[in-house]
Amino acid sequence: MEILAFGVQSDEKPLIEKAFAGHHDVRCTNVFLNEDTAPIAAGHEIISSSVNATLNSRVLQTLAAGGTQMIAQRSTGFNNIDLPVAERLGLTVARVSYYSPYSVAEFAWTLAMTVNRRIVRASNRTRDFDFRLDGLMGRDLRGRTVGVLGTGKIGEAFTRIAHGFGMRLLGWDVTENPACVALGMTYVTKEELLAEADLVSLHVPLLPTTQHLIGADALRMMKDDAILVNSSRGGLVDTEALVGELRAGRFAGVGLDVYEAEAGLFFLDKSLEVVEDDTLARLVTFPNVVVTSHQAYYTVDAVGQIIDTTVRNVLDYRAGRRSENVLVPAVARS
């Protein structure tokens, strides 16, 4: 049986092929799963999707009609999958519930330090042999306040790094993480956190209750010279509202590894095309903003864990086993 893996990056392909060797044949394609590409899956019982796949009702119906019975998503997030429709169609859906939290936490800090110390501007200048320091002044983070929205595994890893910097730690979550409390974190309301933090970092999942968690009101609560980092999900931030605040000259820096309208853009080469997304086009023009293409998870360690878990999810499905990774229960196998 051949498994079809959508949205495979060139760095991932040898890792996926090696991981599935001895278990199943796997065919990798770099095209992303959406309404236009779903017919490619015809005849494949199992397909693997990437984080930017579109698995809405139409796509799921096309997959089911073509004989697909199992979807193994290579990500933790699953807001791109219409789970009720998948269940109605009898599809098994699994995800990767855990991978290295350090990959994302360390990258979030990379973004924070990049905008704080004006690294992109400095690098661009020195390429032109311009070694002036004008406009490159940053701030020490020691003694300043960091606000961590979401203190799960990634938020905890981010907090440990903040503790190493010697920062005052504020947290917000539905439940307190004892490990973060042990580091000296104080849990406060979202409003208090936004008002007091010099650096705000987002580490919550995208749910209906967290959509635009950082909207116009939340942005106005933040300090004018605060730093905002989002390495979680683009929909957590109201990008148009953020652009409005940036145009008003607010924020010392913004680091975004995700964008709410990234589907159809991120992971693709659009350099020779006219990008019609005016909000994104405006966002990347601000000198205090750094946008990267959803790469926080992209380390050998994390991607290796994601692929290994995906293989286990497929083997569990074939054996009729269930695990914590299953989002839609497997159909009883005859």
Q: Which residues are catalytic?
A: 233, 262, 294
Residue 219 phi, psi (nearest 5): -65, -40
Torsion of Cα atoms, 242 then 227 then 122 then 282, to 10°: 0
On the 0-12 / 13-18 / 19+ scale of CB atoms within 10 A, 169 is buried
Strand partners, 257: none
Question: Which residues, 6 or more positions from 161, have their beta carbon under 8 angstroms from its beta carbon?
Answer: 105, 106, 109
State the alpha helices, DSSP H only, in the chain.
13-20, 57-65, 83-88, 101-116, 119-127, 153-165, 178-182, 190-196, 216-221, 239-247, 278-283, 300-319
Q: Tokens in use for 202?
A: 């987002």
What CA–CA distance (Å, rounded) separates 20 from 27? Answer: 10
Residues in the chain: 334
Give the rounded distance of the alpha carbon of 1 from its chain centre: 31
On the 0-12 / 13-18 / 19+ scale of CB atoms within 10 A, 305 is middle
Largest CA distance in the chain: 71
Q: Report helix, strand or coil for 290.
A: strand
What CA–CA distance (Å, rounded) separates 249 from 142? Answer: 25
